[in-house]
Amino acid sequence: MKILVCIKQVPDTTEIKINPVTGTLIRDGVPSIMNPDDKGGLEVALRLKDEFGAEVTVITMGPPQADAILREAMAMGADRAILLTDRKFAGADTLATSNAIAGALRCLEWDLIVAGRQAIDGDTAQVGPQIAEHLDIPQISYVADVKFDGKKTFRVKKETEDGYQILEVESPCLFTVLASAVKPRYMSVGGIVDVFDREVEIWTADRISVEEEKLGLKGSPTKVKKAFAKGLKSAGEVHEIEPEEAVNLIISKLKEKFII
């Protein structure tokens, strides 16, 4: 089986502070990490590899520094890594991004594509589903668990707002995975020792067959109107009380605020 995992390098938003005067993000000195949902997706792929044997390829689009997350993925157990990097990709919104990645995926063989549900910097949850649409394959989003019959069929647990669904799908298909689905493994020490001797393939826009108008800023219909910081909520109250007492307290608070 060949599994393609789409990953993204993001600023560690838990480390980001907001400039109280301008309301903008202070990105200086914020470490870059592999997006948590993508790491969950990689773990799902690596577990399928452990159990059934598979070649796991990780792919990302980004600046040359995105090399770091590809190396991390290889030190965790990925077999091959591809970095889509070109000035022509710059300024891409989700559509231009998915066009570029889908273009790259058309040049590769795969039975399964795994992406994270959404990135913690943009929170759109659009790129994975768009890739599936471009490639015209079935997709299941919000995946919390994957079981494979060893042949062609996946049995997938998809989270919904009020529960979950169990769905069956045949390869080729695409999943977008939740970070909470699995605990990602650590890089192995031996993997780290080898990883800087391994190759990260650099693919530029010429390598993929996608029209230039569909890439980067040119291919991005999204226009950002305004960026602003969300207003901070006041600190909550913590009560350590018995459940029955808690119910009464919640009801009285909701009544107090005229919610019920």
Partner 1 sequence: MNFELNKTQDLFRQMIREFAEKEVKPLAAEIDEQERFPIETVEKMGKLGIMGIPVPKQYGGAGGDNIMYSIAVEELSRVCATTGVIVSAHTSLCVAPILEHGTEEQKNKYVPKLASGEWIGAFGLTEPNAGTDASAQQTTAVADGDEWVLNGNKIFITNAGYAHVYVIFAMTDKSLGTKGISAFIVEKDTPGFTIGKKEMKLGIRGSATCELIFENCRIPKENLLGKIGGGFAIAMKTLDGGRIGIASQALGIAQGAMDETIKYTKERKQFGKSLSSFQNTQFQMADLYTKVEASRLLVRSAAFKKDKGIPYSADAAMCKLFAAETAMEVTTKAVQFHGGYGYTREYPVERMMRDAKITEIYEGTSEVQRMVISAKMFR
Binding site for partner 1 (CB under 8 A): 71-72, 75, 186-190, 192-196
> 189 vs 259, which CB is nearer to partner 1?
189
Minimum gap (Å) between residue 189 Cβ and partner 1: 3
Tell me how far CA of residue 8 lies from CA of 41, 132, 236, in angstroms.
11, 17, 33
What is the crossing angle of helices 94-106 and 127-135, to 10°? 50
Alpha-carbon span 205 to 139, nearest angstrom: 26
Minimum gap (Å) between residue 188 Cβ and partner 1: 5
Q: How far is CA 53 from the centre of its chain?
A: 23
> 125 vs 192, which CB is nearer to partner 1?
192
> 75 vs 132, which CB is nearer to partner 1?
75
Minimum gap (Å) between residue 52 Cβ and partner 1: 20
Minimum gap (Å) between residue 198 Cβ and partner 1: 12
Alpha-carbon span 234 to 57, nearest angstrom: 44
Minimum gap (Å) between residue 7 Cβ and partner 1: 16
Contact, 115 vs 233, CB < 8 A? no
Single out the residue of 4, 193, 21, 214 nearest to residue 100, CA to CA: 214
> 8 vs 71, which CB is nearer to partner 1?
71
> What 3-state DSSP class applies to 207?
helix
> 100 vs 179, which CB is nearer to partner 1?
179
Q: How far is CA 178 from the centre of its chain?
A: 8
